[in-house]
Amino acid sequence: MTTEQTANAEASGPGTGVDTGSLAEIHELVRRAQDTQFDPEPFLDLHTPGAVVVNIAGRRVLGRDALGEAMRAALASPLRDVVTTAEIHDVRLLAPGVALVSCTKRVEDARTDRATQLPTGGALTYVVVHSDGRWRIASAQTTPVAQPV
């Protein structure tokens, strides 16, 4: 973890019900989601089969298979030139094996043909679940904001 991630992990741990090991695993999950955003197979493996994703443009995708189809279509379009990053601000345990992850998403849009303007930032919220010995993304919702929060 970077210094910033470590500081965030320490701020997210006490009083949130998330143990240090799980917190590190969740930070790693978010990092891997960011690092694999252009590689469908490892990216999809980070999600549960029934994952629900609402992207920054408001498109809702239901299920990992549909997410794969949407991702492959996006990568075959000018959207392949849009890069996003996420900064974790808080992780809270909602129930055993279920955590809420609050992030800021930043969008770098390098498309030369911009048919639509994307927001430059958003509030990204993940619901992650622990099963089969690892954390996975069950839900991801990005709400656009005028200025990154």
Residue-level pLDDT at 2: 42
pLDDT at 107 over 50: yes
- Give me the number of domains the chain comprises: 1
Residue-level pLDDT at 9: 45
pLDDT at 51 over 70: yes
Kindly provide the residue ranges of all beta strands, DSSP E only, lying in the chain, ordered along the sequence: 47-54, 60-62, 82-95, 98-109, 121-131, 134-145
Domain that holds residue 135: 3-145
DSSP 22: H
Report pLDDT digits (tens) over 10-33.
Answer: 445 445 788 999 999 999 999 999
DSSP 79: G
Of 34, 28, 18, 13, residue with least CA distance to 93: 18
Report pLDDT digits (tens) over 62-101.
Answer: 999 999 999 999 999 988 989 899 999 999 999 999 999 9
pTM of the model: 0.85
Cβ(56)–Cβ(118) under 8 Å? Answer: yes
Across the chain, mean pLDDT equals 88
Tell me the C-alpha distance between 47 and 32, whole Å. 11
Q: Six-digit token pair at 58?
A: 């408001």
**Can you give the CATH number for the domain in which 73 is found?**
3.10.450.50
What is the mean pLDDT of the segment spanning 114-129?
88
